[in-house]
Chain A
Amino acid sequence: MAQDLDLLRGTLDLLILKALSWGPMHGLAVLRWIEDVSRHNLQIEEGALYPALHRMEQKKWLDAEWGYTDSNRKAKYYRLSALGRRQLTAEVTKWSRYTEAVGYVLAAAGGSR
């Protein structure tokens, strides 16, 4: 269970960083972007987004500011810091290496069958 969560959290972090690389967003906007680009294939428990955001803020990957939405509602906006941008690059590299390696494994397994 814990491993699942960790995997999920690591992945979630990557998704959040990627979302915010397009510009400052509030939590809901991040979620909507992920839903949108994943074509609703990725199911996230929405509340889990917030501890993740706050933890990334603590690590100084994100800066937070209060702002107002188009409909003039007060919301907390997150923005990628320079540190966060570097983190995103690193995570993306790691992810592609990971998927590549997993892909090789699966391909080899398929061949032996």
Chain B
Amino acid sequence: MTSGEGGRFRRVFRLPFTRTRLARVIDDELRFHIEERIREFEARGMTPDQARVEVMRRFGDYDSYSREAKRIDEATIRTLNRTEMLNTVLRELRHASATLLRSPSFSAIALVTLALGLGATTAIFTLLDRVVLRPLPYPNAERLVHVGTLWPGVRADAEFALSRGQFFYFKDKSRTLANIGLYDTDMLPIPGDGSHPAERVRTLFASTSLFSVLGIAPERGRLFTADEGIPRRRTVAVLSHGYWQRRFGGDEHIVGKRLVLGDSLGYDIIGVLPPGANVPDFKADIWIPNWLDPAQPPQNNHTHFAIALARPGVSTSAVAEELKRLQKQFEQAWPDVYPQKFLDRTGFVLNVSSLHERVVGSKIARALWILFGAVAFVLLIAAANVANLFLVRIDARRREVALRKALGAGNGQLAVHYLTESVLLALAAAAGAVVMGYMLLKVVVALAPEGLPRLEEISLDWRSVAFCTALAMLSAIVFGLLPLGSADADVNMLREGARGLTSSRGRNAARRTLVVAQVALAVALFSGAMLMAKSYSRLRDVRPGFDAAGVVSMSIQLPYARTRTVEQRSSFWRQLSDRIGVVPGVVGAGGTEQLPLIGQSGCSVVKTDVPDAPVQCVPTTVVTPGYFAAMGIRVRGREPDWSLTESGIGPVVVSKAFADQFFGDRDPIGRGVKINSDRIPFFQIVGVAEDVRANGLQKPPVNAVYFPVVPPKALPAWEAGYGLAFVVRAPSMSTAQVFNAVRRAVQEIDPSVPVDEPLAMEIVVSRSMAQTSFTMMLLMISASIALLLSAVGLYGVVSYMVAHRRAEIGIRMALGARVGEVTTMVLSQSLALATMGIIGGVVIALLGTKLMQSLLFEVSANDPAVLALASVALVSVAALASFAPARRAARVDPVEALRSS
């Protein structure tokens, strides 16, 4: 420590860290000077007083010198502290990376395991965050309220919209709402010009209030004024950003130009919306004012979608309460619109929810939360594996910890030491996880069902990265502090000498618990995945009531102006069917107003000619001859052809469910059915079609009435058949070939009629299963990772036990145990762990899968076969994972094993 000066320096001088201590130290130094000097002067013969005065004179201003020295020292300390901290960090980082690199297999396994768990969690978190957690993209998103109506007596699961009367009544009377907007949607034909073909554009008829409800401001031009909501000769239109770019090439001078749309009304373009400005469920190309007359008496016609803006600070439930009260008043004010009989029969009631809830949907939110729970399980399993790896290492390191402690390392220093290592590992894993999460998210989005809202431009953003890093840091802290938890490693440890490698009972128990927990989580996850798989296969077995193979549909809309009469319309469809029918490869063709599985069909109140028959609202559609054959819907009786359709009887086909409900045991064929109105005559039922699950494969089949395009002779006007989904069955042709053939045929008949993009019915069917298959797929992926990780975990623990008990196994073999007995011993230990895990897992599954019931189809959440399968799977995994360690145990050489211990 010292040289030259012979033991004078006893202690390294370190600048003291607190201000008071610093002052004291400087005082000590200066006082030493003064006292020694006084003694010196006294020795030269001065009196103590003289000496003191002389010394102080020579010294100068004591306080100012001491203050200056102190100021200097404080600056020095600050610099030193900074350097020291930086050095510590660098040193620890260097040390940690060296340690990690020294045991590459530990580091690699821990890294990959953790990255796998974090990556899966990050991907699903991003999905959950984007779809469920984030507010809708409106300035006042949390104040937006959806208002609709429920008609449980008509259709239990469907929701309808608002009437014009309700809209004005609520707008006028409500105190909880700041504003209310209303809209209708439609596809309007727009004629072709030189460079663009005729097409149909997505049109939104918006109340003038809608923009301010949604908080949308124009990108250029202006939006609707209040008086533009009133009918007038010239009206205005606002373009979406996308349509402005697509159709008008982003024309700078678009505002003021004229647009011909639909039935040749002229529209002045007054503005363009910013990108992404939309109502939640419809991407409109063109926005047009909705002409609503407040003076007209209310009607029972609930077709307008409504979005309301609550006043600041008013809850959705307060809005719901008030609107329901207003609705009661409204009903009482218009008893002829809402007669009591109607209210009783339909159960008509207002439905108010937050717009967010409406858009996201509780079912989708639930599915995503379940998936998030599933990946959280995967992460926990991964974490358990890594924790186990760390625990094994702790045993190897107990001597190191004890040694460091004996050398005076405090808990704080040790914590920094181990934390650096685990943080380094976790951050590397987080980096890997972000990459993996990014790729996984791409896969997930590709698999995602059509109905999953808000998926556009979804990607891993800073929130996801922050989430991933936070999780990584959390696990790093847990793993890093594990060795300190085992800080029973004290000096006694060192005395154990070579036997320092024995691990404590407690740590073995911890290791086993982790594996049992792992197996339990894997069983639960696997059960969930199997339940979804079973639902999916049940769903696939459902016959939708039609045969989608080789069927292509495209929407064709006739221009109203040129097809005013029934004859004009039916002649168009007949010509089209005839032309398409002769195209080689086409098996059948026909049109319908409502395709199964697409959109929400409304209902019409129909009546049969059976005395006292129920009058009920049922889904109806209008079809042309050939539709049933083209869709593969089987019909008993006659399937109307063109001559029957045009014969003047108005041939109708009803579904079997309808026949059963309205006619019971009687044969419906030959009977009459009609829309419930005195002006309409009965149509004649000529056939009974098999039931179609038009509302989704999970839903029961609908009781439907298929009306013809041509009505009975007695009915002069029949407003049907303007726009049909034209369906072509041509199994040997591609979708594009069918589309081209239809487009050619339509061109030949009337070049101004646009044909929409084709849609393969097989895609429609698979889409209706997409949510189930999506949930199933992701649960399967999670369950597979979970199984793999559990296998790794079991393998690790069993291997460790075998290595640890080599001596014991050696003794047993020396005492005459056979290879088979040793193998059995190892296997049974592994299976015992697995069994405990399985029991726990079944309990978790029974509790957890209850939450899944609403996502399942014809499968019970505690399906015993599924639980049994999950248990068998885990037992097999446990057996497989312990196979290699068991063989290793069996190969133990007793002599060598005993010697080495």
Chain A contact residues, CB within 8 Å of chain B: 23-24, 26-28, 31, 45-48, 50-51, 53-55, 57-58, 63-68, 73-77
Give the distance in Å from the alpha carbon of A85 to the alpha carbon of B440 in the complex: 64
CB contact under 8 A between A58 and B32, given known A67-B8, A76-B13: no
Name which of B60-68, B344-352, B714-722, B856-864 contacts chain A: B60-68
Could you tell me if A23 and B5 are in contact, using CB atoms closer than 8 angstroms? yes
Could you tell me if B10 and A50 are in contact, using CB atoms closer than 8 angstroms? no
A55 partner, pick from B12, B58, B72, beta carbons under 8 A: B72
B76 at the interface (CB under 8 A from A): yes
Give the distance in Å from the alpha carbon of A43 to the alpha carbon of B653 in the complex: 125
Chain B: minimal CB distance from A65 (Å)? 4
Residue of B nearest to A70 (CB): B8
Residue of B nearest to A59 (CB): B76
B850 at the interface (CB under 8 A from A): no
**What are 24 of the A-B contact pairs (CB < 8 Å)?**
A24-B9, A27-B33, A28-B37, A45-B59, A46-B37, A46-B58, A46-B60, A47-B59, A47-B61, A47-B65, A48-B60, A50-B33, A51-B65, A53-B69, A54-B69, A57-B76, A58-B79, A65-B2, A65-B13, A66-B10, A67-B2, A67-B5, A75-B32, A77-B13
CB contact under 8 A between A51 and B32, given known A46-B58, A58-B75: no
Inside 8 A of B5's CB, which chain A residues have their CB?
23-24, 67, 77
Give the distance in Å from the alpha carbon of A26 to the alpha carbon of B73 in the complex: 17
CB contact under 8 A between A28 and B13, given known A50-B65, A76-B29: no
Residue of A nearest to B55 (CB): A46
Residue of A nearest to B68 (CB): A51
Chain B: minimal CB distance from A94 (Å)? 23
Could you tell me if B58 and A77 are in contact, using CB atoms closer than 8 angstroms? no
B36 at the interface (CB under 8 A from A): yes
Could you tell me if B13 and A66 are in contact, using CB atoms closer than 8 angstroms? yes
Give the distance in Å from the alpha carbon of A63 to the alpha carbon of B75 in the complex: 16
Give the distance in Å from the alpha carbon of A53 to the alpha carbon of B33 in the complex: 13
Could you tell me if A58 and B36 are in contact, using CB atoms closer than 8 angstroms? no
B11 at the interface (CB under 8 A from A): yes
CB contact under 8 A between A58 and B37, given known A47-B65, A66-B13: no
Inside 8 A of B4's CB, which chain A residues have their CB?
23-24
Give the distance in Å from the alpha carbon of A80 to the alpha carbon of B59 in the complex: 24
Which of B31-85 touch A at CB < 8 Å? Answer: 32-33, 36-37, 58-62, 64-66, 68-69, 72-73, 75-76, 79
Could you tell me if A77 and B36 are in contact, using CB atoms closer than 8 angstroms? no
Could you tell me if A67 and B60 are in contact, using CB atoms closer than 8 angstroms? no
Chain B: minimal CB distance from A100 (Å)? 32
Q: Is the interface of B mostly helix, strand, loop or mixed?
A: helix
A65 partner, pick from B12, B58, B72, beta carbons under 8 A: B12
Q: How large is the interface on B (under 10, 10 to 19, 20 to 34, 35 or more residues)?
A: 20 to 34
A47 partner, pick from B10, B11, B32, B60, beta carbons under 8 A: B60
Give the distance in Å from the alpha carbon of A50 to the alpha carbon of B60 in the complex: 12
B28 at the interface (CB under 8 A from A): yes
Q: 7 tightest CB-CB pairs across the interface, nearest first? A: A47-B65, A45-B60, A47-B60, A51-B68, A65-B13, A54-B72, A67-B8
Residue of B nearest to A55 (CB): B72
B406 at the interface (CB under 8 A from A): no
Residue of A nearest to B67 (CB): A51
Chain B: minimal CB distance from A78 (Å)? 9
Give the distance in Å from the alpha carbon of A66 to the alpha carbon of B1 in the complex: 12
Could you tell me if A65 and B9 are in contact, using CB atoms closer than 8 angstroms? yes
Could you tell me if A46 and B28 are in contact, using CB atoms closer than 8 angstroms? no
Give the distance in Å from the alpha carbon of A55 to the alpha carbon of B26 in the complex: 13
Chain B: minimal CB distance from A56 (Å)? 10
CB contact under 8 A between A65 and B36, given known A45-B58, A45-B60, A74-B28: no
Could you tell me if A27 and B29 are in contact, using CB atoms closer than 8 angstroms? yes
| Further contacts, 13 of them, CB under 8 A, given A54-B73, A65-B9, A76-B25 | A27-B32, A45-B60, A50-B65, A50-B68, A51-B72, A54-B72, A58-B72, A65-B12, A66-B11, A67-B2, A68-B8, A73-B32, A76-B28
B30 at the interface (CB under 8 A from A): yes
Inside 8 A of A50's CB, which chain B residues have their CB?
26, 29-30, 33, 65-66, 68-69
Give the distance in Å from the alpha carbon of A111 to the alpha carbon of B60 in the complex: 42
Give the distance in Å from the alpha carbon of A111 to the alpha carbon of B815 in the complex: 115
Inside 8 A of A75's CB, which chain B residues have their CB?
29, 32
Could you tell me if A67 and B75 are in contact, using CB atoms closer than 8 angstroms? no
Give the distance in Å from the alpha carbon of A4 to the alpha carbon of B295 in the complex: 98
CB contact under 8 A between A28 and B65, given known A23-B4, A57-B76: no
Residue of A nearest to B8 (CB): A67
Give the distance in Å from the alpha carbon of A17 to the alpha carbon of B33 in the complex: 19
Could you tell me if A46 and B59 are in contact, using CB atoms closer than 8 angstroms? yes
Q: Count chain A CB atoms within 10 A of each CB in B59, B60, B72 and give the residue with the most.
A: B72
